[in-house]
Structure 1
C-alpha cells in the first residue's frame, strides 16, 4: 500500500510520536534519579506524570481516526535518549551533570514540539478538530516544560557546571 495522502502521513507520524512518548516515559525516571538538583529531579518527575497524559491523549487521537494505538520505531528519539544516557554515564557525580541533563531533556522537548505542531496542523487540515485540540493541549505542555528547563539552566545549573 503506497502512502501518498496526508491522512497516511498523519497516521505514520502519530505512530512515531506514540512510540517516542512511551520511550520517554521509560527514560524520565532514570533522568530524575540521576539529577543532582532537587528542582531538576522534581521537573523530571512532574513531566513523567504529564507524559502519561500525553500517551492517553494520543490513544484518544487513534480512536478518533478509527485506528488501534500502535507505535513505530522512532530513530530520532532513540538517538536523543541514547545521548541523554551517555551524559548520565559520562558526567555522573560531576557539577556538569545537571546542565547536560537539561540539554538532553530540551532536545527531547524540541523534537516533541516539532512533531506535535505538525500533527496539530495536519489534524486541522484533515478536519479532525477534536484531534487537533488534543494535540494542542500536549503541544502547550511540551512548550511549558521546555520553558521550565530553560529557567532551571538560567537559574544556576549552567553556572555551577562552569565554576567547577
Structure 2
C-alpha cells in the first residue's frame, strides 16, 4: 500500500511539474473572442479544405486501379464540389462573405496521401493506400462538420445547421463506402501481393 501511494504521489508531482513548466500560448491579435468567431473561423478552414480536396481527388482517381474505387472517388469529387457551394451558402446564411483560410490539418493529410501514392507500386497495394488516405480525409471532415453543426445549433443558426448536417451525412456515407471497398477483398488481395 505505501509503495502505491508513493508511486501515485510521485506521478502527480511529475505531472504537476510538467504543467507548471508549460507556458500559456498568447492569442493572436485576430483570435476568436467568442463562439461566433470560432464558428466563422472553422468555416473558413473547412472551405479551404474542401477546395483543396477538389484539386487533389483527380490525382487519386488517376492513380487508383480498382474500378469501384475510382467510381467512389469520382462520386465523392462531385459531392465535394457541391459541398464547396453549400459552404458558400452557409456563409451567406450567417451573413458573412465566403472566405478560405489555409487548413494545416487538411494540407498534412493531402501531403500524406501524395506520399502514399509515391511510396506504393501501382495496383492493389496502392489502392489500399488510397483508401486509407481517403478515410483519413473523411474522418477529419466528419469531425469538423460534426463540430460545426454543434456550434450552429448552439448559435441558433438553423439554416447553417441544416446545410452542415447534410454534408456530414455525405461524409459518413463516403467513409462507409470506402470501408466496404477495403473489406470486400481489396485489402486481402493487397496482402497477397509480393
TM tier, smaller: over 0.9
Q: CA deviation at 1:66?
A: 1.4
What is the TM-score normalised by the length of structure 1? 0.97
C-alpha displacement of 1:94: 4.2
Moved segments of 4+, more than 4 Å: none
The answer to whether the 8 A contact 1:34-1:92 is kept is no
Quote how far apart the aligned CAs of 1:12 are: 0.5
Question: How does the TM-score come out when normalised to structure 2?
Answer: 0.83
CA distance in 2, matches of 1:3, 1:85: 32
Q: How far has the Cα of 1:2 moved from its partner?
A: 4.6
Partners of 2:70 and 2:51 lie apart in 1 by 19
Name the residue aligned to 1:119.
148
RMSD: 0.9
The one of the two structures with greater contact order (alpha-carbon pairs below 8 A, sep at least 6) is: 1
Partner of 2:178: 149
Cross-structure match for 1:87: 116
Show structure 1 runs of 5+ residues with no match: none
Alpha-carbon distance between aligned partners in 2 of 1:2 and 1:150, rounded to the nearest angstrom: 38
1:83: Cα distance to partner?
0.7
Q: Which residue of 2 aligns with 1:12?
A: 41
- Alpha-carbon separation, structure 1, partners of 2:161 and 2:82: 16
1:95: how far off?
A: 3.0
Question: Which one of 88, 91, 111 corresponds to residue 59 of structure 1?
Answer: 88
Asked whether 1:104 is paired with 2:130, we answer no
Cα distance per residue 1:49-103 (max 9 Å; x no partner): 0001110110001011111111111111001001111111111324310100000
Distance 2:37 2:122 in 1: 46
Instruction: Give the secondary structure class of the aligned counterpart of 1:68.
Output: coil
> Equivalent residue for 2:169?
140
